[in-house]
Amino acid sequence: MRLSILPLALAAGLGGTPPAAAASQPAWTVDGALSRPELQRQRGSVAALRIRIDLHALQQADSLDLALPGGRSQRIEVVRREPRGGGDSWIIGRFAGETDALVSLSLSNGILGGLISAPEGNYEITTLADGHQAVLLLDQDEFPECATRYSEHAVAGDTAPAAALAPDADPANRTDVLIVLSPEALIDVGGNLAQATAFAQSAVDSSNLAFRNSDMTTRFRLAGVRLTARAETGNTGTDLPWLRDDAEVASWRNQTGADMVSLITRNLNACGVGYLQSSPGPGFAGSAFQVTTRGCAVGNLSYAHEHGHNMGMGHDPGNGNGAHAWSNGHFVNGSFRTVMSYDTNCVGGCPRKPYFSNPAVNFSGQPTGIADTRDNHRTGNLTADIVANFRASQIIFQDGLQPAQP
């Protein structure tokens, strides 16, 4: 472990006994299971526990024990901890003894959110409408796909940016994102800005876990969280154009220097929808928008999926095209699918995992892509510099938040 390297070396040099590894600590305690009516309000959830987090353990421990629905306890090893200041941090972990089971935990204002990608399925840590924290076991078969199943993604590439690029270009690995919540979605994540920000940060971090796993350049940074007073319609064909065209949203985007913008809703006739950057270039800046349902955003990776469309990525072959011939997601029947892939061609099931297709990266012993046909990692790397410069980054964000470094 990181903190025991020096003492171990010293002990070995002196002929002493190396110190024992620090004991694992519980990340949270359980306050009981959600009732059936409560569970039914959480999209795709088949079991859930109310939890009370241990801030000290989450901030300090190199090994954490996670109490999960169904009576399971899982130990994780902290692979990386990225501090953000004020006690906030992003914790990346993996199941002890396993390489493919990955964990993203986001601490924000003392509130925890995150994604646990386990062999048996995905779990999400979130805040409930009553303000309590919970860990949910998800059934991905219960999630709808994105709105291309209902209508084609709007294809946009000729809208001029609303603001000129700064003389000094932003680095390709820093894409600033603005997240707007509808009044209904705000209620569902607890009802206040701190809880909304914690949810937003967990959506950003789960996306970054997928970028990191896929050897991609891009990293998202949360430039701001805003609360709109406009009631959502639940219709992708209405809410997405509104987000793109609304003057107040445009003002928020310019204030925060956000390269891309999303709206989080409670209800939608799909898990999400986003404009597709079919012809990559700076002219797409005016269409770098997406809408995602709250219940799909983190545990189902739909937030990452819809911004993937904004970056030029398409679904798996046969379910829509991307910017290039290789801009497709990948799946292995009976094993897994990448972030952009549908499950319609998986007769044996293929749960979504936090990877974008990349033929050079393996998951569960299988490549996550196919060269020249399923390689969204390549697409994302080609558009990374374009997207990161849709707007100039703000040194001090308007809501006082300072996102973590990529």
Q: Are residues 80 and 181 both part of a single domain?
A: no
- Strand boundaries in 15-60, DSSP class E: 25-26, 28-33, 45-53
Rounded to whole angstroms, the Cα distance separating 53 from 65 reads 11
Q: Are residues 131 and 207 both part of a single domain?
A: no
Low pLDDT (below 50) residues in the chain: 1-21, 149-166, 396-406
* Angle subtended by helix axes 302-310 and 193-213, to nearest 10: 70
| pTM greater than 0.75 | yes
User: 5: Cβ–Cβ under 8 A, 6 or more apart, which residues?
Assistant: none
Q: Is residue 186 part of a domain?
A: yes
Residues 6+ apart with CB under 8 A from 225: 178, 179, 180, 181, 193, 196, 197, 200, 399, 401
201 located within any domain: yes
Three-class secondary structure of residue 117 per DSSP: strand
Beta bridge partners of 178: 224, 261
Residues 58 and 123 in one domain: yes
* One domain, residues 241 and 106: no
- Structural domain count, the chain: 2
Give the span between the Cα atoms of 211 and 206, in whole angstroms.
Answer: 9
Judge if 91 and 183 occupy the same domain.
no
What stretches of 71-192 show up as alpha helix (H) in DSSP?
A: 183-188
**CA–CA distance, 378 with 356 (Å, rounded to integer):** 10
Show the CA angle centred on residue 193, arms to residues 139 and 236, nearest 5°. Answer: 50
Looking at residue 150, what is its pLDDT?
Answer: 32
Q: Would you say residue 380 lies in a domain?
A: yes
Tell me, yes or no, whether 12 lies in a domain.
Answer: no
Clarify whether residues 336 and 294 are in a common domain: yes
> Do 372 and 300 share a structural domain?
yes
In a domain? residue 400: no
Q: In terms of residue numbers, what domain contains 303? A: 154-160+169-388
Could you report the per-residue pLDDT of 231-263, keeping only the tens digit for each? 999 999 999 999 999 999 999 999 999 999 999
The number of residues making up the chain comes to 406
52 and 197 belong to one structural domain: no
Could you tell me if 185 and 266 are in contact, meaning their C-beta atoms sit under 8 angstroms apart?
yes
**Could you tell me if 307 and 382 lie in one domain?**
yes
